[in-house]
Amino acid sequence: MQICVQSWPAMPHDDPLPSRLSSDVYNVLRRQIVTGELRPNQPLIELDLAERLQVSRTPVRECLQRLAHAGLVVPRKRGWAVREFTPDEIRQNAELRMALEGYAASLAAIRGSPSDIAAIVAIHERRLTLRSSDEEKRVKTNRDFHDAIMRASGNGRLTDAIYHSGQFYFNAPIARATTGEELKLGNADHALIVAALLKRDGAAAERAMRAHIQRTFAVFWRVTGLAEPLHVQPR
Amino acid sequence: MQICVQSWPAMPHDDPLPSRLSSDVYNVLRRQIVTGELRPNQPLIELDLAERLQVSRTPVRECLQRLAHAGLVVPRKRGWAVREFTPDEIRQNAELRMALEGYAASLAAIRGSPSDIAAIVAIHERRLTLRSSDEEKRVKTNRDFHDAIMRASGNGRLTDAIYHSGQFYFNAPIARATTGEELKLGNADHALIVAALLKRDGAAAERAMRAHIQRTFAVFWRVTGLAEPLHVQPR
DNA sequence: GAGGCAAGGTTTGTATGCAAATTTGCGTGC
DNA sequence: GCACGCAAATTTGCATACAAACCTTGCCTC
């Protein structure tokens, strides 16, 4: 087969099983769902997908099972369709991220090794020197920053869950928005998080991370023009 | 086919796709993994499973994809094996639950409807009247209690994530152990959570829930005889 | 002209076929 | 007795086959 893996915006949690076709199919379909190339509620016809990707139905079906488990695809009476995310579900996901990344930040502050913390600080400082025009680098260092904190938490399950939740931001037109303005605003928030980490103050780190994610999503609603659901602010 | 669905301890998040064979297979295999009937690291031979369950390899393969995505099964160079959970991974999962259920409790306190809260209180009080010998009812009301809080959080994504994480507690011999002593200690913890919910104090509810889960796992280590990993206490 | 029924075409859900790749077992040589 | 290597037997990964369920469409009837 010749699944055309053109270069695309790096995405977290690509899931390559050791040399298995269904894994390539998974990554391609996930990207197409997540970027909106496959529209919400669009029915997914196995044979169509198989022909487009030059594989048989078998890997496609296996991949659909995983997408369904990931929550990106929903079962219909017959077959599958791309899941549609309502604004409320996006809010719910933001809250999920606040729970997970907030806790990760708290663990990082408490038990991250000195070199873990140093790595986070380094990423933060590198980020401060970026020219505002270099969007790609900003996206990357932002991800690096959050990744480094997760890693410092010393909890792989938590990290997995965060990656998982990350699959939900991107649904058209979310991808563009979350990589756009949000990133310009982040530095002040990041500085607060870094300060808490350096003080080894878990509670402060958790608060700062939650506030950061919440602010990010406030931007998101504005940029996308979606109506912000009520109760984004839990406390 | 005649997958023998004998009565088993109720498990969260049975995942029945609308009338699909692979879904029954999924629930059976998940249970067998989680109860230890299928041992950690045991290779899963497709044809074996298919014959045991009286289905063909196709639904088995699809089900394995979902189990892999759930993290209960890991890919080998060739085929799959039951994932082995180390004590450290179990600790990580406990922390994940603390993050998720703690946040759910906080949301429930802040925005749960009066009837949501009343339902939680009712479950708690029913639970107080149970005879300690009635183990099955205790297990059930415990689950009801946690479920009701999740529901009161008004966040389905969070709820899903909690259910998901729930798949990991039970690995032999966990299931039996968690129905024993833990439950006796639970009532006092539950009372603290209920009090915070009634006061609509999100931060207190979150603290109480985290402490409850942590205590549960402290019991777990003792009962199972596994070595408790360091750093269970994050603050 | 509208509604219902039926027939045909899709599309799925499951089963099976086939070749490749890995593992197992045995024999041989050291 | 141990190690190495070759061959046979599993067992997978992918493809395809087949029947049942479903949807569409067109025709017939009222």
How long is the CA A79 to C1' C12 vector, in angstroms? Answer: 7
pLDDT tens digit sequence for B166-189: 666 654 444 455 555 666 677 889
Q: What is the model's pLDDT at position A180? A: 59
CATH 1.20.120.530 range(s) for chain A read 87-224
Q: What is the model's pLDDT at position A203? A: 95
Interface check A218 vs B, CB under 8 A: no
> Given a cut of 90, is residue A170 above it in pLDDT?
no
Q: What is the model's pLDDT at position A6? A: 33
Nearest alpha-carbon partner for A223 in A180, A165, A169, A166: A180
Which CATH architecture fits A87-224?
Answer: Up-down Bundle (1.20)
Query: Is the shortest CB-to-strand distance from A108 to strand C under 7 Å?
Result: no
Average pLDDT over residues B47-74: 90
Q: What is the model's pLDDT at position A7? A: 32
Per mean pLDDT, which range of A7-16, A126-135, B130-139 is the poorest? Answer: A7-16
Contact criterion met (CB < 8 Å) for B69 and A71: no
Smallest CA–CA distance from B161 into chain A, residue: A161
pLDDT-derived band at A187, boundaries 50, 70, 90? confident
Instruction: Report CA-CA distances (Å) from A121 to A103, A132, A160, A191, B100.
Output: 19, 19, 23, 9, 27
Average pLDDT over residues A169-177: 57
Interface check B229 vs A, CB under 8 A: no
How long is the CA A95 to C1' D10 vector, in angstroms? Answer: 49
> Given a cut of 70, is residue B198 above it in pLDDT?
yes
**Residue B179: other Cβ atoms inside 10 A:** 15
CATH 1.10.10.10 range(s) for chain B read 21-82
Question: Concatenated DSSP letters for B131-177?
Answer: -TT-HHHHHHHHHHHHHHHHHHTT-HHHHHHHHHHHTTT--TTHHHH
Q: What is the model's pLDDT at position B171? A: 47
Residues of A in contact with B164 (CB under 8 A): 161
Query: Is the shortest CB-to-strand distance from B204 to strand C under 7 Å?
Result: no
Contact criterion met (CB < 8 Å) for A66 and B69: yes
Specify the CATH number of the domain A21-82.
1.10.10.10
Contact criterion met (CB < 8 Å) for B202 and A235: yes
Average pLDDT over residues A145-152: 94
